[in-house]
Amino acid sequence: MIEPEIRKTQLTLDRTYSAGGKPLPDVHFSGSIAAVVSNPFAGTFASEADISDWMRALQPLADSMAIELRNALIGDDRSIETYGKGATVGGNGELEMAAAWHAPAGVGLRSALDGPLAQVPSSKKIGAIGSQLDIPLVYLHASYLRSHYDVQPVVVPDGPKPDEVVYALVMSTGPRPHHRIGGFSIDEVVGKDGLR
């Protein structure tokens, strides 16, 4: 099994105090963690039909990234409420290298956050060095909770290089600032099916 070769990791934290010119009742914390990893299959599509071993090799990385981001965001009076995942593949790779992040990232996030049921949203693309990846966020226990629909941008200024992949996770501690598009509220979440 090929082990991931990590060039760097990047942890980014945001604190939002006001939005749209109006202060928030509570500070909104959000963040991302990204790992820049060598793509062992860059330019070798024809000879590597099955990359499931690579997907399994990414699991320890996903686990440790989820724990590090969670620990950076939580506090005595706040917990994680949203999550998401994504990947950007450098130009010598293919989109399937980003898709390989779906399972390990989802397992890592769910394990670090005590088993939420909502589907972990994701985004993936092929991109140049420094390209922005916008990763969607949803509420951990109910994907249909509109107040928590959001996006966290992830930018690694020097990655991915053509033979690399940027694997990323995102989280936040609350709803989108000043949400007001209706739908059911967080205190109405049942959380049994991951949808409502």
Query: The dihedral of CA 150, 152, 75, 107: what is its sign?
Result: positive
pLDDT at position 192 over 60:
yes
- As a whole number of angstroms, the longest Cα–Cα distance in the chain is 56
**Strand (E) positions, the chain?**
6-19, 22-38, 82-89, 122-126, 132-139, 150-155, 164-172
Q: Please give the pLDDT value at position 38.
A: 97
The pLDDT tens digits for 128-148 are 999 999 999 999 999 999 999
Q: Classify 183 as helix, strand or coil.
A: coil
51: confidence class by pLDDT, cuts 50, 70, 90: confident
pLDDT at position 76 over 90:
no
Q: How many helices (H) and strands (E) does the chain have?
A: 4, 7
Mean pLDDT of the chain: 94
Specify the pTM.
Answer: 0.95
6-188 CATH:
3.30.1330.110
Q: What are phi and psi of 10, to 5 degrees?
A: -140, 125
The answer to whether 186 and 135 are in contact (CB under 8 A) is no
CB-based contacts of 44-49 (< 8 A; 24+ apart in sequence): 45/94
Domain ranges of the chain: 6-188
Beta partners for 6? 37
The rounded distance, in Å, linking the Cα atoms of 124 and 120 is: 13
pLDDT at position 58 over 90:
yes
Find where tokens 């997907």 sit. Answer: 55
77: confidence class by pLDDT, cuts 50, 70, 90: confident
